[in-house]
Structure 1
Amino acid sequence: MKRKKNKKKLPIGLSDFKEIIEYDYYYFDKTKFIENILEERSKVKLFTRPRRFGKTLNLSMLKYFFDVENREENKKLFEGLNISKSEYFEKQGEFPVISISFKNYNKNDWESGFKSIKSTISDIYAKFEYLMEHLNKRDLKKFEDIWLEKDEGDWERSLLNLTKYVFDYYGKKVIILIDEYDQPIINSYIKGYYSETIDFFKSFYGSVLKDNEYLEMSVITGILRVAKENIFSGLNNLEVHTILDSEFTEYFGIMEDEVEEALKDFNLEYELEDVQKWYNGYLFGDTKVYNPWSIINFLKKGRLRPYWVNTSGNGLIQLYLEKLKNEIFDEFSRLLNKENIFETINDSMTFGNLEANFEKNIWNLFFHSGYLTLAKKNDEDEEEVYLKIPNEEILKMFSKMFIEVYFRDSNNFSKFTNALKSGDIEKFKFELNKILLENTGIFDISGSYKEQFYHGLMLGLILKLRNEYEITSNGFAGKGRYDLLLKPKNILNKLTGREGIIFELKILNIKSEFSFEAIHEKLEKECEIALKQIDEKEYSSVLRNAGVKKILKIGISFLGKEFEVKFEREKEIY
């Protein structure tokens, strides 16, 4: 449901609920979330979701709904929205609210990190500066120590103390909203000062959330539950909702019916099938979910391209790919080939057991961060599940990472891609040979060179051309599925008549006792088989139907770092 149809302003980069409503931005109505959290009744609620799935906007919405400050003004923001029709609307403006966010935390060491944390807390105190004239001398000193960012301030209990001051002023219990609670912990883990950070936040969160007589309710968001590490130790009033749960799913992300209506509103409904392929694929609990950041950007720009994966936040993923590149090679390759992997997933992982068993728990990390999703619905009690890459957007990110992790000097592949788009196959072959020779270490990873590896390699290499071509892998066309296809984007096709390109890859499995000549003879025969398959399966039809007049067919066969290439050009159609 939207507030009003046919609004063209889209809130890209905006997460302030008041600004979105007052300036009439396009809004997916998630206000029923308020009713549901009041019905649940748990004192402290933790919602873990991937980044840019609406966590910050939802907490902003809660702040404007519950806050006793500016009650009547804020009430107008919810007129006509779902919550205004609920019996719980009477709770609007009933509580003082303390809201704190660590989403922008990014420091290289604990000294600068603690300074940033103190500044964030001090800014929250500054919003309650009016309380100082009502404090006794002792509490005033504590307040000023935090407000002025003094070293002697009681920083670990600062949020707890603020709830007391606010309660004493209003005579009402306080709602605490904490956005991206785990960002400093994840960041410090990547940068190498994790122990200092976790020690601080154990006390900081524990003091305010456990047995706090001034607390009405707290709603906390984060990316991963792996950061819990006893932060909430002994907190028996905590209710955790992860992406494995069905409850609350519709409030974090965009549902399929919402996407369909939005596409109609922006005259993009003909794009629905492509939008599903690019941005759908997430299964949270038993519900299909779209990535909000990607959908909003697509509605704004009308172009199918990666949006979410080009934002910040891939540091932890990159770190573990580097650490485990040998151990997870087979699984990584299968994922790139759009296959499922069978792994153990749970909600109780910590950084401690992540370190103890990298290979097992990296899939937990990928899953809860939104880079993998359930391949099918599963029982919530089942820990062993099938996982897959959710959509084309994530596939392209993983293909790029594949190149960065397994190959050196990936930025020097421009000669390879330039040769391909110019149709110079001899140059293309020369550059591919150079890439393989300069990265011979990759062939020590696995004794068998599976198609997934070479598929990931070729996809990763040609993704550098994604601004000029629509690149798809393992797609259906004609009577079968092609390996890789490059369709010139419309403007290039019309202006330059650039070739569409189809790749069929073959992997040769023979013993090393064969001579070099015999091996290459067999590789050439596999290339011929590949070209024949392109013709017999009529893969070219997808390009012809798109109006591409010139088509380049390439068959490549591999054996370790040896390969052969053959190509044909279809007769140009006018």
Structure 2
Amino acid sequence: MNKKIAIGVDDFKTIIENNNFYIDKTRFIEEILENNSSVKLFTRPRRFGKTLNMSMLKYFFDIRNNEENKKLFNSLYIEKSNFIKEQGKYPVILVSFKDIKEKTWEECLDKIKILIAGLIEEHLYVYDSIDNINKEIFKKYRLQESNTSNLENSLKFLSDILYKYYDKKVILLIDEYDTPLISAYHNGYYDEAINFFKGMYGASLKGNISIKFGVMTGIVRIAQAGIFSDLNNVDTYTILRKDYNEFFGFTENEIKKSLEEYNLENKFEEVKYWYDGYKFGDIEIYNPWSIINFLQSKELKPYWLNTSSNETIMELIKNSDKNTIDTLKNLLEDKEAMGIITESVRLAGKFSENEIWEFLLFAGYIKVVEQLPNNLYTFKIPNNEIKSMFKTLFIDIVYNNNTAINELRLGLLNKNIPKIKKSIEDLLLYATSYWDLSGNIENKYQLLISGFLYGLEGLFRIYANKEIGDGRPDIVLEPLIKDTAYIFELKIKGNTQNPIKQINEKRYDAELKRKNIKDIVKIGMIFDGKSVEFVD
């Protein structure tokens, strides 16, 4: 019997005790211990196993319940490692900021107070052993009454208390350190947030004699204004480095074994098309969140994109210039793009085009193809799951999320010619302002029409400028679920060639007829700015 899939569970103990599906990543513990750097930062996209790995580290090292926790690692890689002797030897603080995504700084502070109060409650057993002054501070944390300065010092305070209690140095695990900072950037209170977390992380990680070592995770290494300029003891492992890459996400061998376990080995190529394509260092990696969802549902579709808000990504691209949109269109056509990529992301002001692609790379929306000199990289969209998100985003940007796309779908499916024409007119009318349609340049319209083509996938097989008959028709829609096919030919005002005559003379319907499709609608369009004349 196959192990049950635990969707959304990132607690290591829960997964192991319930005998849920788990791919052994415990060699990560060995690698951590072999590296003597005092603070390690691992940046990976969301839902790539960061929180689960941090939970695993906690249960391995934690001195509390150490004998019980040791059983969790039976039959796993680390059990036979020499480093098993380090199991259960240290006090551990695990704090995760993954849910701090508030709209205002005041709400963010309140949420941090709740988070710290939970940590204090977890270590309530030390209360009787501390002096009266620290008892008062302890109580304020527990009751969520501490001021901002004391809140900044909370992790340092707790590490000092635990060090004195156990006479052993503390392992500090900070999960998703950058989530509140990215949210602050998006919601307009970044200055307050960066000053606070600079103080919190600096106090707990820099020169703290109570700490044995620290591990941090996040999506990006934030470049400016403090956190890592002050923390000069942080060793950062981004997806561009070649260390630790097999521990976040699933490797191809792990995928093959998992598919075999669930009798899905015949789906390997489709799974690869949908969820592979990430490149961490020199290793190909699959999206783990999407894989475990597929193993449970056995349905190939986007999963990762629905896990949390994509607001930052949406805003970055929507507020970008036309060059960025043109690059996005090229990426959607499976072409490569090029940009300068550093290992840090600047969260300040409006992103440049280069900074947008840099953020998208570390967030998991594009992948590196090749590294060139001087921090220059080529990149592309990694897989079909991400491509589907970008296509939806492209439609939203080009047409201002206009309902005419849905109307066009219905018109095409029902062979409602007046609705088709009205929908195209509306799409042109509501196209975003940066699409300068005042000039008679045909490729502007081809780019614009690409937007509604992305909205038709699954309903029609789409051919754009493909060699058919004696020429290259602009758009051919071959039906997938109904019987009616469409041929569109685009012209600009002033071109005297009749589009319908061109369709007929150049036999643009030859491929459709060869497939025995008999119901073929031919539509000519003559564009003039944001208006269109139809020719039947």
What TM-score, normalized to structure 2?
0.89
Q: Compared with structure 1, are the counterparts of its residues 504 and 332 closer, same or farther at alpha carbon in structure 2 (3 Å cutoff)? A: farther
Q: What's 1:124 paired with?
A: 119
User: Secondary structure at the residue paired with 1:219?
Assistant: strand
Q: What's 1:300 paired with?
A: 296
Q: What's 1:217 paired with?
A: 213
Q: What's 2:364 paired with?
A: 370
Picking from 144, 147, 153, the partner of 1:149 is 144
Q: What's 1:403 paired with?
A: 395
Which residues of structure 1 form unaligned runs of 5+? Answer: 1-5, 489-497, 568-574
- Answer yes or no: is the 8 Å Cα contact 1:506–1:530 preserved in 2: no
- Cα distance in 1 for partners of 2:18, 2:26 equals 18
Match for 2:187: what amino acid? K
User: Secondary structure at the residue paired with 1:525?
Assistant: helix
- Cα distance in 1 for partners of 2:524, 2:31 equals 56
Picking from 380, 384, 393, the partner of 1:392 is 384
What are the equivalent positions in structure 2 for 1:34-113 lying under 5 Å apart?
34-113=29-108
- Answer yes or no: is the 8 Å Cα contact 1:531–1:553 preserved in 2: no
User: Secondary structure at the residue paired with 2:37?
Assistant: coil
- Answer yes or no: is the 8 Å Cα contact 2:61–2:90 preserved in 1: yes
1:116-136 CA-to-partner distances (Å, cap 9, x unmatched) read 111111110111111110001
1:516-539 CA-to-partner distances (Å, cap 9, x unmatched) read xx26x1476268758347459x7x
Q: What's 2:455 paired with?
A: 461
Which residues of structure 2 form unaligned runs of 5+? Answer: none
- Answer yes or no: is the 8 Å Cα contact 2:5–2:292 preserved in 1: yes
- Cα distance in 1 for partners of 2:76, 2:69 equals 13
- Cα distance in 2 for partners of 1:504, 1:389 equals 29
Match for 2:111: what amino acid? S
Q: Compared with structure 1, are the counterparts of its residues 170 and 284 closer, same or farther at alpha carbon in structure 2 (3 Å cutoff)? A: same
What are the equivalent positions in structure 2 for 1:234-383 lying under 5 Å apart?
234-352=230-348, 355=349, 358-374=352-368, 376-378=369-371, 382-383=374-375
1:70-125 CA-to-partner distances (Å, cap 9, x unmatched) read 11111111111111121111111111100001111121111111111111111101
TM-superposed CA distance for 1:445, in Å, is 7.4
- Cα distance in 2 for partners of 1:75, 1:227 equals 39
TM-superposed CA distance for 1:472, in Å, is 8.0
1:172-230 CA-to-partner distances (Å, cap 9, x unmatched) read 10001111101111111111111111111010001110011011111111112236632
- Answer yes or no: is the 8 Å Cα contact 1:51–1:223 preserved in 2: yes
- Answer yes or no: is the 8 Å Cα contact 1:63–1:97 preserved in 2: yes
TM-superposed CA distance for 1:45, in Å, is 0.6
What TM-score, normalized to structure 1?
0.84
Q: Compared with structure 1, are the counterparts of its residues 215 and 432 closer, same or farther at alpha carbon in structure 2 (3 Å cutoff)? A: same
Q: Compared with structure 1, are the counterparts of its residues 272 and 71 closer, same or farther at alpha carbon in structure 2 (3 Å cutoff)? A: same
1:268-323 CA-to-partner distances (Å, cap 9, x unmatched) read 22221111111111112211111111111111111111111122131111111121
Shifted more, 233-242 versus 122-131: the winner is 233-242
Q: Compared with structure 1, are the counterparts of its residues 456 and 204 closer, same or farther at alpha carbon in structure 2 (3 Å cutoff)? A: farther
User: Secondary structure at the residue paired with 1:385?
Assistant: strand
Picking from 505, 516, 525, the partner of 2:502 is 525
Q: What's 2:156 paired with?
A: 160
Shifted more, 342-351 versus 247-256: the winner is 342-351
- Answer yes or no: is the 8 Å Cα contact 2:42–2:217 preserved in 1: yes
User: Secondary structure at the residue paired with 1:378?
Assistant: strand
- The percent identity for this pair of structures is 37
Q: Compared with structure 1, are the counterparts of its residues 402 and 440 closer, same or farther at alpha carbon in structure 2 (3 Å cutoff)? A: closer
- Cα distance in 1 for partners of 2:109, 2:467 equals 56
- Answer yes or no: is the 8 Å Cα contact 1:11–1:26 preserved in 2: yes
- Answer yes or no: is the 8 Å Cα contact 1:226–1:349 preserved in 2: yes
Match for 2:362: what amino acid? H
Q: What's 1:22 paired with?
A: 17
CA RMSD in angstroms comes to: 3.3
Query: How many residue pairs are counted as aligned between the two chains?
Result: 530
TM-superposed CA distance for 1:367, in Å, is 1.0
- Cα distance in 2 for partners of 1:149, 1:389 equals 45
1:225-255 CA-to-partner distances (Å, cap 9, x unmatched) read 2366321323232110111112111111111
- Cα distance in 2 for partners of 1:500, 1:88 equals 65
Match for 1:457: what amino acid? G
- Cα distance in 2 for partners of 1:551, 1:264 equals 44
Picking from 418, 421, 424, the partner of 2:416 is 424
- Cα distance in 2 for partners of 1:428, 1:334 equals 27
TM-superposed CA distance for 1:383, in Å, is 1.5
